[in-house]
Amino acid sequence: MTDELYRRERFPSGLAHLGLDTVEREIPSDEPPALAANAELNWIGKAVPRWDAREKVTGTARYTVDIHLPGMLHAAVLRSPYPHARIKSIDISQAEATPGVQAVLRLFATDVPDEEVFVRYAGQAIVAVAADTPELARQVLQSITIDYEPLPFFVDLASSKQAVNATVYENSDLAGVQSAGLPAMATDYELNVNVLGPTNQHSRGDIHKGFAEAAVIAEGRYQTQVQTHCCMEPHAIVASWGGDALEIWMSTQFTAGVRAQFARQFDLPLARVRVHANAIGGGFGSKSQMSWYGRTAAELSRLAGAPVRLVYHRDEEQLDSGNRSSSEQALRIGARADGTLSAIQLQSYGSAGTAFNAGVGAIAAAMYQCTNVDTEHFDVFTNTGPSTAMRGPGNTQGAFALEQAIDEIARQLNMDPVVLRDKIDGSPVRREERRLGAEKIGWAQRTSPGADSGPIKCGLGMAQSMWPALVQTNAACEVRLWRDGRVEVLSSVQDIGTGVGTTLIQVVAEELGIAPELIQVRIGDTEFPSGPPSYGSRTTASITPPARVAAWRVKQALLSMLASNWEVSADELQIQQGQIYLQSDPARRISWQQAAAMLRTDRISETAGRGDDYAGFASHNGDAAMAINGLGGVQFAEVEVDTETGVIRVLKVVAVQDCGRPINPIQLESQVQGGVLMGVSYALLEERIMDTHTGLMLNPNFIDYKLLGLCDMPEIEVTLLENYQGLSATDAYGIAEPANIPTAPAIANAVYNAIGVRLYSLPMTPDKVLQALGTVRGGQG
Amino acid sequence: MQRFEWQRANTPEMATAHTRTTAQAMLSLDKEPEAHQSILIKAGGVDLLDLMKAGLVVPKRLVDISQLHELEGISRTAEGGFRIGTLTTLAQIAGHETLAQQYPALIDAVASAASPQIRNRATIGGNLLQRPRCWYLRSAAHHCLRKGGAHCFALDGDNRYHAIFANQSCAIVHASTPATPLLAFSAEVELRNHDGKQRRVALKDFFRLPQADLHRENILADGELLTAVLLPPPSPANRSVYLEVGEKAAFDWPLAAVSIVLQMARDQQCQQASIVLGAVAPIPWQASAAEAVVQGARINSETARAAAEAALTDATPLADNGYKLHLVKTLVQRAIMSTVN
């Protein structure tokens, strides 16, 4: 140990499969030395089985819906049957008088008279009740009388954009409008009937000059649909007051974040709110906040003086738990004869229902080199359930347009789409991903559109993604060593299914030189140091470095104790496979357990926070920071299109992705597979369908809302790059979102390659394929 | 879902005492205050539980017939055909080797219905009697014509999955996948009422178009039980084919389906043709004009194309489902050609 605050270390650097270099970084002196590349490690980079796999497959894992507390009540929610209405009166007296009903709560501010309350989408919550049984709770909703005055509405982007009279908000309402994506305020913009904006503009250079220089121009209008999250576990919470403390069990992507929200909402000290999240059945962005239903469960519990359980039904999931916003994108790209881009112009509209920030990401302005760029985005409010972040929000919609337009440029220039991207994409990592992917899919064998003779045409296509490498800088992790040699890793970080628990075990086992069996992970509880959220693909990047730092410090403490006992220097001690020995005299050794037994106290503990990346951050906003280099991936799709039925089958997807240092390849592969499957499902099937006359959702179930099934799944080949940059104690970053973004455009490009016709609208259903082929007339709608 | 009583039927008589059809129960929920008094028959319960969860039927009591083993199983009939008991599951039918050899279109259709889990549970009787697919019918918030309302929401609403035939008043599509091959094979159903009276009805006379009855898809009466499906003797000259197109490869209703049974003579000459379309009409749709083209003709690509064109006779596509015309054409053509290839 040194007294200096910083020291210099050399880290592995570069892409492992191409041969590694090193990079020197200045690091805090209380952080561990540079971690070797995966090839030299015992646990990190290895396919360690998921820590909770047995519990999950045997059904013993406890989800929030499995929590049953003594005396627990059940909540049910009365929701608006109208897409837009003024509420003239609410009568809850009969419900309040019903035996077994313990609390009835009106969900609008109490100081607002009934007649000034508006509901803005069908499914919006109005009253919540807590009763002795779930059946009674739902049944008693029927005794609540609400007098509605139905008002005009629009449920689709195209009509709402043209609306003459506002059907969602007035300017004065904007302060209360929630954001569907990154934090932003609707009040910063002007509302024009139902259209807000432009809300997001990227402008550089001179596009007029750029288009004048263009040898070719690709122009298209792209449409993407509303997709719902479809978490297998519904939104669920159990809230319980004990004196002046609030205890919450919640299926959430951010225990520490919702604790802060509950504390603020109920004016409680942070230390008096405890949030648990054990097993979680998916979130995909929709379980990031306390939300009104969290607040409602806690309010009902306080009113009733008993724990309250609130669990969404599937139709409530589909109507009111968030969704991916729709988009309409007019994209125009100009390129010079050599392929370099001379101008990018994008005008986009998006609808996040009653929320705003229905963006299409920054991917059009940021993925490729181009000096002349002009993008503007407008939010269109509709009388539909509010969107929230969903796996790669914005960029997923944006990539569908951008990546098809780039392919169109390649076609016009008679260039290979991979070669064109090599020219216009400055990222060396993406270039390598393209090279590997092309090799694995057999890109060289790609034929021209329509080359197959029969009605069934095959095609290959590719697309790529980008996503910021995000880090939560207030993430912290504790590592404890007990006298019996057992180790605990503690953080409020939650495992939403990605396997962060396993990852933590691997990192700590690696640092301590002991077997994973000695390590227990305790996460998803805010009594432990605050972990990061599981959104924005940031969990691994945020929590694994502090876990390793804390483990290293515990190790240092154990070794110092032993060193002073043996009268040697701690620097001379080594740990390998659970044995601690003197480097100069390996025969002098002691087992990990024996050393731990010598501790003066029952346990020792270290807590570490996530420091800055060793090379700093590209930007820092509150507790969130962006690493110097982003993440991405390239996907190649092989499809088969039946030109007589319009059915597209995706036969194979090759996904080449980067995430810094991969910690657990099987978990990463399964996350990439999840991203691809979600992408195929988005490309071919999923769509929230609204009835324009009644304003109601027509498919709020899993029969009519079509999700990809087992028989529709393509073969998926995943390749993970090992990309070392020496940026943190683990040098690991995320993967969830970049694995979802490129799938739909890769399929669309493959469809073009198969049939020579471009599909501009998602999902690419048989009727749209037949329409594009000119086989059937367009719809009259 | 509201509370209901549950009763196990030990005899078929218990199943027919005071029970209603789901069609009647759905209609009466709207019309009569005593709607909750409905007593409904439950076999596999696949469709019934969906209707109950959606609040479309609110039975007072369910009579569970799933233990009436006399109604289960596949046996030979005196005429040399087969009798499929109403409680026989789709999985049992799909796994029946003799049926697979002699009625291949039926087995292909049955094996492609729903999912393996549902086929293990769903009975052939329940499958034929399940309520139609229409998201307006199946949404309690839409008080549609079929439920006793004044308006068919599908006609001017989102009708991408709706009927292209006989859709003038109500554009539902019949939901049974096995029904199309059964009709193509000229199957009959056996119905038994509370007095123990049995009647045999040809499947083609069993189903009802909205023009004939706005609220029911078949002639099953309250208190009546569908006890069996009867297949006529197989003919060695028969070639049968089932084809469908769907957005998903499994666990979804097809966008369009076709079952054909062609009785072939020498030289690929067709003597008798039965062509039935699925998922395009309120009932399994007999494409008579297409049958007429094929009957007595030599089967070749010319005949197949002409029959496919003829299959669209009387089609009246709606705003969003014109693509189904093309699917029907493709399926009919492919099905006919596959009998000779």
In this prediction, residues B21-40 reach a mean pLDDT of 78
Subunit contact A693:B139, Cβ cutoff 8 A: no
Alpha carbons within 13 angstroms on the beta-carbon side of residue B104 total 15
Subunit contact B323:A708, Cβ cutoff 8 A: no
Q: Is the pLDDT of residue A399 over 50?
A: yes
What is the tens place of the pLDDT at every residue in A719-737? 999 999 999 999 999 999 9
A577 torsion bin: left (phi>0), alpha (psi -120 to 50), beta (else): left
Q: Is the pLDDT of residue A1 over 50?
A: no
Q: Is the pLDDT of residue B176 over 70?
A: yes
pLDDT at A192: 95
Calculate what percentage of chain A has a pLDDT beyond 70.
Answer: 98
In this prediction, residues A738-760 reach a mean pLDDT of 98
B-chain residue closest to A772, CA distance = B323
> Is residue A337 helix, strand or coil?
coil
Task: Tally Cβ neighbours within 10 Å of residue A454.
Answer: 8
Quick check: A459 and A636 in contact, CB under 8 A?
no
Subunit contact A644:B330, Cβ cutoff 8 A: yes
* Confidence band of A779 (pLDDT split at 50, 70, 90): very low
What is the tens place of the pLDDT at every residue in A595-648? 999 999 999 999 999 999 999 999 999 999 999 999 999 999 999 999 999 999
Say what the ipTM of the complex is.
0.96
Residues of A in contact with B255 (CB under 8 A): 766
Calculate what percentage of chain A has a pLDDT beyond 90.
Answer: 94
Residues of B in contact with A141 (CB under 8 A): none
Q: Is the pLDDT of residue B60 over 80?
A: yes
pLDDT at A781: 35
SS (H, E, C) A341-372: EEEEEEEEEEEECCEECCCCCCHHHHCCCECC
Subunit contact A766:B3, Cβ cutoff 8 A: no
pLDDT at B3: 86
What is the tens place of the pLDDT at every residue in B117-170? 999 999 999 999 999 999 999 999 999 999 999 999 999 999 999 999 999 999
In this prediction, residues A103-118 reach a mean pLDDT of 81
pLDDT at B47: 97
What is the tens place of the pLDDT at every residue in A302-312? 999 999 999 99
What is the tens place of the pLDDT at every residue in B96-113? 999 999 999 999 999 999
Quick check: A540 and A663 in contact, CB under 8 A?
yes
- Between A30 and B28, the higher pLDDT residue: A30
Chain position carrying tokens 């969290």: A294
Q: Is the pLDDT of residue B30 over 80?
A: no
Residues of A in contact with B249 (CB under 8 A): 649, 709, 711-712
Torsion of CA B280, B281, B284, B287, to 10 degrees: -80
What is the tens place of the pLDDT at every residue in A58-79? 999 999 999 999 999 999 999 9
Interface of A with B (CB under 8 A): 81, 122, 135, 139, 644-647, 649, 684-685, 689, 691-694, 696, 698-699, 703-704, 706, 708-712, 765-767, 770-771, 775-777, 779-781
CA A518 to chain centre: 31
What does the mean pLDDT of chain A come to?
96
> What does the DSSP 8-state code read for residue A12?
E
Least confident of A134-138, B66-70, B337-341: B337-341
Quick check: B129 and B283 in contact, CB under 8 A?
no
* Confidence band of A110 (pLDDT split at 50, 70, 90): low
For residue A754, the cross-strand partners are none
Among partner residues B50, B156, B322, which is closest to A776 by beta-carbon distance?
B322
In this prediction, residues A557-564 reach a mean pLDDT of 97
Q: Is the pLDDT of residue A162 over 70?
A: yes
What does the mean pLDDT of chain B come to?
95
CA B134/CA B113 separation, integer angstroms: 17
What is the tens place of the pLDDT at every residue in A289-331? 999 999 999 999 999 999 999 999 999 999 999 999 999 999 9
* Confidence band of A3 (pLDDT split at 50, 70, 90): low
Chain position carrying tokens 């007296």: A93
Number of inter-chain CB pairs under 8 A, A vs B: 93
In this prediction, residues A583-601 reach a mean pLDDT of 96
